[in-house]
Chain A
Amino acid sequence: MNAHVNQNSVSAIDNIAKGDVLLQVDNISLSFGGVKAITDISFDIRKGEIRAIIGPNGAGKTSMLNVINGFYHPQEGTISFMGQQRTKMRPYVAASQGISRTFQNVALFSGMSTLDNIMAGRCLKMHKSFFWQIFRHGPALDEEIEHRKVVEDIIEFLEIEHIRKDPVGALPYGLQKRVELARALAAEPILLLLDEPMAGMNLEEKEDMSRFIIEVNEQFGTTIALIEHDMGVVMDLADRVVVLDYGKKIADGKPAEVQADQNVIDAYLGVAH
C-alpha cells in the first residue's frame, strides 16, 4: 500500500491537523417509538487517534455508530464531520465523505467472492459510465485493473491472498471479519468505524486483528472508532475511551482514567440504578 492511500484526502482533511477534532457529536438523542436508545450523548473523535466506545450490552454503542454513518437519524443533537455540520443524511453520503465501517454481525456480500467483496468497497472510486461498462474493454477495463491493483495491495496487507477467489459465505468467521475489514479499507476511509472487530475470535486471531488495526492507524493515519468488549484489547489499542451505559455517557478519557472511574466499575459490576 503506498501513495494511493489518502488520495481522497487532498481537500478538507488536510486542513485538519493531527490531534484536532475530526468528528464532533453533540447532545445526540435517539429513540424508537417510546424506547430511548441514546440519551444526550456528546463526544468527539480526533484525527489520527483510535477511539474506543465501550459499555455493557444494550448500552447503545452500535446505535451510536449507526447514527454516525447516517443509518439512523437522531431526533435531537448535531453531528459535524470535518467541520461540516450535517442534518439528515443518507448512509451513502456518509460513505462518500470518507466514513467506512464494519459490522457486528458480519455483513459481507455472501454471493460474491472475496475479491469482489473488496472491490465492492471501491465502488465510490469507480466512475466509468454505463456506456463504457457495456464494452468492458478500453476505459472500463483499465479502471477495473487500476482498482484491482489497489485491492491486491490490501489483500496482501491483510494476508488473505489464499482466499482471494473463494466465495465469502464459506469462509471461517475470523477470515470473514478480516475480509470485512479489507472491504472497509478499500474505500480508503478518513474515519473507520469498527463494530466489535474481534467478537468471537480466538486469541491468535485477536492478536492478528489488533496488529492490523494498529498498522492501519499508524501507516495510513486513518482515524478509527471501535466498539469492543475485550477490555485488554481496548486498553492496549485505544488512545481514548468513551463509556456508555443505558444510552448515556458515563465516562470519557484515557484508558487508565476510565478504568479507575467509579461509574464505569459500577456499570460493569452492576450496581442498582
Chain B
Amino acid sequence: MELLYNIFIDPFVQMGAMPDFLLQVLWEGFVSGILYALLALGFVLIFKASGVFNFAQGIMVVFSALSLVSLYAAGVPAYIALALAILIMAALAVTIERVVLRHLVNQDDIILFMATIGLSYFLIGFGELIFGGEPKAMITEELGLPTGSTTFDIFDGILILQHIDIAAAVIAAILVAVLAIFFSKTRIGRGLRAVADDHQAALSVGISLNQIWAIVWFASGIVALATGIMWGAKSDVSFALQIVALKALPVLILGGFTSVPGAIVGGLIIGFGEKLFEVYWGGLLGGGVEGWFAYVIALIFLLFRPQGLFGEKIIERV
C-alpha cells in the first residue's frame, strides 16, 4: 500500500508542493533533451542518406570537440581553431567514405552497423593517442558563448537558467532549420533522399553515391561538433561521452530513424522523462536510473509501435 502511494501519489504531491523545483527539473530535462536531439540528428542525417546506423556518431562528437580544444591549447585562436575543427571533420568524412563506406555499398545493414562500431573503436584509440585520455575543459568563453546564468523568482522560489543552455537550444533550432531546408530544397538534398531509398537505383540514375555520402558525413560531423561544444560546456570533454551518446538510439526508436522532427521530439521525451523519473521515482529504486531509463522506455515503446512515432508502417513482401 505504502509502495503504491510512493509510486502513484507521493511524486505528484512533491511536484505540487515545490513547483519551482519541478520547473527547474523540467528545464534540466529540456536541456538534456536538446542535447540528445542534437546527437540523434547526427544519426538521422547519416541514416537518411546511407541507411547506415552510425555507431561512431558519439565518438565523432568527442573527437571534434577534442580537436577544437586541443588546437586552442596549442595556441591557435579560438575562431580559427573552430574553422580548423570543421576542416578536420570534413577530412574525416572524406576519409571514412573512401576507406570504409565505398567498399561496403549494398551490404547488409548489420554489416554496415558493425563497421561503424569498428570505426568508433579506431577513433577512440586514435583520439586517445593524439589528444590523451584525460578530460578537457571546453573553451566556452573564448568562442563567444554566454556563460552566466539568470535567476527568476517564481512560485515563492527560484528558477536558474544557464545562458549556455539557452544558447544550446537556439543553436539546435538553427541547425535543424538549416538542415530541413538543405534536405528539401537543394539538389544534393534530393539526391540524398534517393540514395537513402535504394543505393543501386540512385547510382543508375547518375547520382554520385560517394559525393553524397561524403557530404552527409561532413554535415553530421558539423552537427557532432556543435553537440560536442554544447556538451563540453556543460561538463568536460571526455571519452566517457561516447557511451552516453548511445542514448541517441532510444531517442531514434521513439522518433523514427529517418525523421528530423522525430529526433527532436524523441530527444525531448527522453530528456524530460529521464530527469523526472530520476528525481521523483529514482529514489524508490536506489537512484542511478538515468543509465537505463531511456532504453527501457524505448523497449516498451518498440513492442507497441515498432516503426517509431513518425515512421511509416512497413509492409513486408515476399
Contacts and interface: CB of A to CB of B under 8 A. Distances in A.
A32 B318 contact: no
Contacts of B316: 71
A59 to B, nearest CB: 15
Nearest to B318: A103
Interface in A55-69: 62, 66
A107 interface: yes
A102 B155 CA distance: 69
Contacts of A104: 318
Contacts, number: 10
B154 interface: no
Nearest to A104: B318
Contacts of A71: 316, 318
Interface string A104-134: 1101000000000000000000000000000
B76 to A, nearest CB: 52
Interface string A60-86: 001000100001000000000000000
Main secondary structure of the interface of B (DSSP, over half): loop
Interface residues of B, number: 4
User: Which of B313, B315, B316, B318 is the most central at the interface, judged by chain A CB atoms within 10 Å of its CB?
Assistant: B318
Contacts of A66: 318
Contacts of B315: 32
B311 to A, nearest CB: 14
A103 B315 CA distance: 17
A71 B315 CA distance: 11
A227 to B, nearest CB: 12
B100 to A, nearest CB: 24
Contacts of A32: 315
A71 B316 CA distance: 9
A222 B252 CA distance: 49
Contacts of A62: 318
Interface string B277-318: 000000000000000000000000000000000000101101
A104 B318 CA distance: 7
A33 B313 CA distance: 9
A84 to B, nearest CB: 24
A107 B316 CA distance: 13
A79 B293 CA distance: 45
A184 B316 CA distance: 21
Interface in A13-57: 32-33
B111 to A, nearest CB: 13
A200 B313 CA distance: 31
A4 to B, nearest CB: 28
B310 to A, nearest CB: 16
Given A33-B313, A71-B318, A103-B318, 7 more contacts: A32-B315, A62-B318, A66-B318, A71-B316, A104-B318, A105-B318, A107-B318
10 contacts: A32-B315, A33-B313, A62-B318, A66-B318, A71-B316, A71-B318, A103-B318, A104-B318, A105-B318, A107-B318
